[in-house]
C-alpha cells in the first residue's frame, strides 16, 4: 500500500513550527523558553498548556495531553494521522508525492544521520592534526576565533582518499545506504573513496541540530570549485535548508528579525561580530521553501548579499521571494567588491549596524541598483518589462499590485499601462490551485498512562526520562547497563522496550519523530510528559546509576517478599525450605551492598 515517505513527513513537520500552528487555535503567552495558554482539550481557568519551541512538542500539565505538531492537529481536529499530515502539508504549501515503488526503511535515515555525525567528528579532529593545522591557522588569520570554530564545528577533510571511508566501513551498513549517504563516491571496480578532500568543512545541520550535510571550501593550491556541497540525500534537501538556523532561531524568534546572507563564512563572521540573528543558504539559489522557513521565525528580513553586480541580482531575487511570503524586506548594500565576511576585515560591528539602518526597501534598492538601465527609453522599457514579469510570478495579488504601482510611479510611466502588462503576464503565470482534500474526522483521545506511585516506579520514571537526554555518554551507559532481563521486571516494560530499541538505532533520540511513530495515544502522551519533565541538572551517569540501583533494590525486595511467602507455606506443610532461605540470604547480601534506595 502506498505511504507518504518518511522524509516528506519530516519536511512537513519541520515546515510547521509548533508555536505558530498552536497559536492558530490557542492564545499563547511566552514564559521563559516556553509558551503557555489554556488547554484546548479540557476546561481550565489557569493556563497549564505548555508549548516548547526548542523541543517542538506540547504538553498539558492538567489533562496530560501531549505530542508534536502532527499529534496536535490529530487531537484538535480529530483527524487520522495521514489526514493531519496532509492538512499541515497544505498549510506549508508542500506537495505530497507518494512513491509506491520504493518503500524506504525508517532505519536508513537514522543510519545516514549517524554517518554524518561520525564524519563531522572526524573532520573536527583533522582540523587539529597534520595538514589540518594549516587550515586552522588560515581560519584564525581570517579573523575567526577558537570559540567560533567550535561553535560551528568547523573541520577539515585531508587530501586523502579514505579518511572518512574507513570510518564508514566500520559501521557495517549496506551498499545502498553508503551510496545514498552523499559522503562517499563509488569506484568503477567496486569500493568507495571520500567525496570531500583537502577542504575546510562546514557541517550543515537540520533545525534540531543534527548534521545532515556538508559544505567544503577548497584549501591551499588544490584545484576544483571553490565550494563543494553535499548532494541531495534522504536527509538533506538544499532548497529546504538554511545554514545556521539551528543556532540562531531563538534569537530570530525573539527579535522577529533575520539577516539573510549567501555563504557559510558570511554567516559565521556576522555571528561572531554579535549579529546572531543570521541565516544563510546552502549553495543554491534562495527558494520559496527557505523563505517559508524564515517566516516561521521572522517578520522582517535584511538581505545582505555580496556587493558586486551578481550579488545585487541575487539579493533582488531573494527579496522578491520573501516579499511573496509576506515578509517585510530591506536590502543592505555593501560596498562594491565586499561580502559580509570581508567587510569585517576593515570595519567594525558599528559600521555594519549603520549599513543596516541605511538599508533600503525592496523597490528602492532595485531601482538604485539598475540606475544604468534607466538612462534611455529603450533600456528603460526593457527593464520595466523584466521587472513586471518577475512581479507576475508572485502569488500575493495585493503585494504585486502595490509593487507594480510603485514601479510605475518611480519611472514616471502611466500606471494603467503597467497594470495591464502585469495582468496579462499574471494570467500566463497562474497555475490552477489544488483543492484541499476533504478529511474524515475521528476521535483520537485516550487517557494518560498512570503516573509513578511507589519509590521504584519513580526511579523507573527517572531512568525513562534520561533515555531522552542528548548526552551521548549517558545514553551509551543506559544501553550498555540496562538489559532485557532487567526490563522484564519493570513496571513500564513497554516504554523501556520502545526507548531502548530507539537508542540502539539512533543516538540521541529525535523526540518529534519518535512521537510520530507511536500509534498509542496514551503512550505518546506519557512520553511527551517525559520530555517536558526534562531536568538537565540531573542528566548524569551518576544519577542514572542511583536510579538503577534503586530499581534493583526494590526488585530484590519483591523477590524476597515472594520467598518469605514460600518459606512460610513450606514451613506450614512441614517441607524443607532451605533452598528458599539460601536464595533469600543471597538477595539480602546483594541488597545490603546497594544500600537504601534513592529518595525521589
Q: What is the CATH number of the domain that holds 85?
A: 3.90.580.10
491-503 burial: b if 16+ Cβ within 10 Å, else e: bbeebbebbbebb
Q: How far is CA 145 from CA 140, 385, 562, in A?
A: 6, 48, 63
Is 439 within the bounds of a domain? no
3-state secondary structure of 32: coil
Q: Which phi and psi angles does 119 have, rounded to 5°?
A: -65, -40
Considering only residues 486 and 343, tell me which one the structure prediction assigns the higher pLDDT.
343
| Within a domain: 148 | yes
Residue where one domain finishes, among candidates 64, 91, 118: 91
| 323 shares a domain with 379 | no
Tell me the β-bridge partners of 36. 29, 50
Clarify whether residues 253 and 169 are in a common domain: no
Q: To the nearest 5 percent, what fractions of the chain are helix, strand and coil? A: 50, 10, 35
Give yes or no for residue 269 having a pLDDT over 90: yes
Tell me the pTM: 0.60
Among 445-459, 470-484, 534-548, the range scoring the smallest mean pLDDT is 445-459
- The H-or-E segment that residue 491 falls in is none
- 459 and 582 assigned to the same domain: yes
Mean pLDDT, range 377-405, rounded to an integer: 87
Q: Is residue 43 part of a domain?
A: yes
Report the Cα 59 to chain-centroid distance in Å.
Answer: 20
**Residues β-bridged to residue 184:** 194
Number of structural domains in the chain: 5
Cα gap 178→190, rounded to integer Å: 12
Residue 383 located in a structural domain: yes
Judge whether 197 lies within some domain.
yes
Q: Locate 89 and state its grid cell.
A: 502539508
* Tens of pLDDT, residues 162-173: 999 999 999 998
pLDDT, tens only, 7-40? 788 889 888 999 989 988 888 888 888 899 989 8
CATH number of 113's domain: 3.90.980.10
Q: Assess whether 218 and 250 both reside in one domain.
A: no
State the average pLDDT over residues 355-376: 89
| pLDDT score recorded for residue 451 | 55
Structural domain that includes position 525: 455-594
- What's the DSSP call for residue 263? S
Q: Which residue has the cell 525486595?
A: 557
> Are 473 and 590 members of one domain?
yes
- Evaluate whether residue 190 is within a structural domain: yes
Whether 97 is in a domain gets the answer: no
Residues 466, 590 share a domain: yes
pLDDT at 101 over 50: no
Closest CA to 215 of 199, 201, 236: 201
506 and 582 housed in the same domain? yes
C-alpha dist (Å) from residue 238 to 127, 222, 232, 489: 25, 25, 7, 47
> Are 268 and 142 in a shared domain?
no
Task: Return the bridge partners of 194, or none.
Answer: 184
Residue ending a domain, among 236, 271, 287, is: 236
Bridge partner list, 279 = 260
In a domain, 437, yes or no: no
Question: Residues 483, 569: one domain?
Answer: yes
Q: Are residues 227 and 267 in the same domain?
A: no
Residues in CB range of 429: below 8 A, 6 or more apart: 392, 393
Amino acid at each position: 500500500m502506498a505511504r507518504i515517505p518518511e522524509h516528506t513527513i519530516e519536511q512537513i513537520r519541520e515546515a510547521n513550527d509548533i508555536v505558530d500552528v498552536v497559536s492558530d487555535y490557542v492564545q499563547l503567552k511566552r514564559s521563559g523558553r516556553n509558551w503557555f495558554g489554556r488547554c484546548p482539550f479540557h476546561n481550565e481557568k489557569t493556563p497549564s498548556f505548555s508549548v516548547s519551541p526548542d523541543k517542538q512538542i506540547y504538553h498539558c500539565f492538567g489533562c496530560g495531553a501531549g505530542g508534536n505538531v502532527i499529534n496536535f492537529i490529530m487531537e484538535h481536529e480529530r483527524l487520522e494521522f495521514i489526514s493531519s499530515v496532509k492538512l499541515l502539508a497544505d498549510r506549508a504549501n508542500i506537495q505530497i508525492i507518494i512513491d509506491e515503488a520504493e518503500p524506504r526503511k525508517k532505519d536508513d535515515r537514522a543510519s545516514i544521520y549517524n554517518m554524518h555525525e561520525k564524519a563531522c567528528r572526524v573532520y573536527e579532529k583533522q582540523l587539529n592534526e597534520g595538514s589540518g593545522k594549516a587550515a586552522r591557522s588560515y581560519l584564525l588569520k581570517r579573523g575567526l576565533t577558537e570559540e567560533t570554530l567550535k561553535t560551528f564545528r568547523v573541520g577539515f577533510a585531508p587530501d586523502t582518499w579514505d579518511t572518512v571511508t574507513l570510518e564508514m566501513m566500520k559501521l557495517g551498513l549496506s551498499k545502498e545506504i553508503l551510496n545514498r549517504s552523499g559522503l562517499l563516491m563509488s569506484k568503477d571496480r567496486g569500493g568507495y573513496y571520500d567525496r570531500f578532500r583537502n577542504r575546510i568543512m562546514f557541517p550543515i545541520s537540520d533545525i534540531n541540530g543534527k548534521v545532515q550535510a556538508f559544505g567544503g571550501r577548497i584549501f591551499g593550491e588544490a584545484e576544483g570549485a571553490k565550494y563543494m556541497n553535499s548532494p541531495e540525500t534522504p536527509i538533506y534537501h538544499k532548497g529546504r535548508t538554511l545554514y545556521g538556523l539551528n543556532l540562531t532561531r531563538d534569537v530570530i524568534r525573539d527579535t522577529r528579525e533575520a539577516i539573510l546572507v549567501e555563504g557559510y563564512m558570511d554567516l559565521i563572521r556576522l555571528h561572531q561580530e554579535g549579529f546572531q540573528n543570521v541565516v544563510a543558504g546552502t549553495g543554491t539559489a534562495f527558494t520559496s521553501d527557505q523563505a517559508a522557513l524564515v517566516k516561521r521565525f521572522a517578520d522582517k528580513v535584511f538581505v545582505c548579499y555580496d556587493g558586486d553586480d551578481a550579488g545585487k541580482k541575487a539579493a533582488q531575487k531573494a527579496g522578491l521571494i520573501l516579499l511573496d511570503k509576506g515578509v517585510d524586506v530591506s536590502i543592505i548594500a555593501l560596498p562594491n567588491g565586499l561580502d559580509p565576511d570581508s567587510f569585517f576585515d576593515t570595519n567594525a560591528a558599528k559600521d555594519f549596524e549603520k549599513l543596516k539602518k541605511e538599508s533600503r526597501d525592496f523597490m528602492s534598492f532595485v531601482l538604485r541598483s539598475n540606475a544604468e538601465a534607466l538612462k534611455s527609453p529603450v533600456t528603460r522599457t526593457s527593464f520595466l518589462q523584466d521587472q513586471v514579469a518577475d512581479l507576475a510570478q508572485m502569488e500575493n495579488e495585493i503585494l504585486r499590485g502595490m509593487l507594480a504601482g510603485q514601479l510605475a510611479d518611480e519611472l514616471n510611466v502611466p500606471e494603467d499601462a503597467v497594470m495591464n502588462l502585469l495582468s496579462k503576464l499574471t494570467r500566463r503565470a497562474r497555475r490552477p490551485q489544488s483543492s484541499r482534500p476533504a478529511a474524515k474526522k475521528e476521535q483520537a483521545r485516550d487517557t494518560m498512562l498512570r503516573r509513578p506511585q511507589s519509590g521504584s516506579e519513580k526511579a523507573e520514571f527517572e531512568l525513562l526520562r534520561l533515555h531522552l537526554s542528548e548526552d551521548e555518554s549517558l545514553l551509551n551507559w543506559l544501553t550498555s547497563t540496562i538489559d532485557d532481563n532487567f526490563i522484564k521486571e519493570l513496571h513500564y516494560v513497554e516504554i523501556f522496550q520502545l526507548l531502548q530499541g530507539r537508542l540502539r538505532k539512533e543516538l540521541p533520540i529525535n523526540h518529534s519523530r519518535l512521537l510520530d511513530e507511536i500509534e498509542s495515544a496514551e503512550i505518546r502522551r506519557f512520553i511527551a510528559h517525559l520530555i517536558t519533565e526534562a531536568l538537565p541538572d540531573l542528566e548524569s551517569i551518576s544519577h542514572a546509576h542511583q536510579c538503577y540501583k534503586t530499581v534493583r533494590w526494590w526488585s530484590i525486595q519483591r523477590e524476597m517478599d515472594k520467598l518469605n511467602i514460600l518459606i512460610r507455606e513450606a514451613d506450614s506443610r512441614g517441607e524443607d525450605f532451605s533452598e528458599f532461605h539460601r536464595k533469600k540470604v543471597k538477595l539480602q547480601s546483594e541488597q545490603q551492598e546497594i544500600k537504601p534506595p534513592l529518595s525521589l
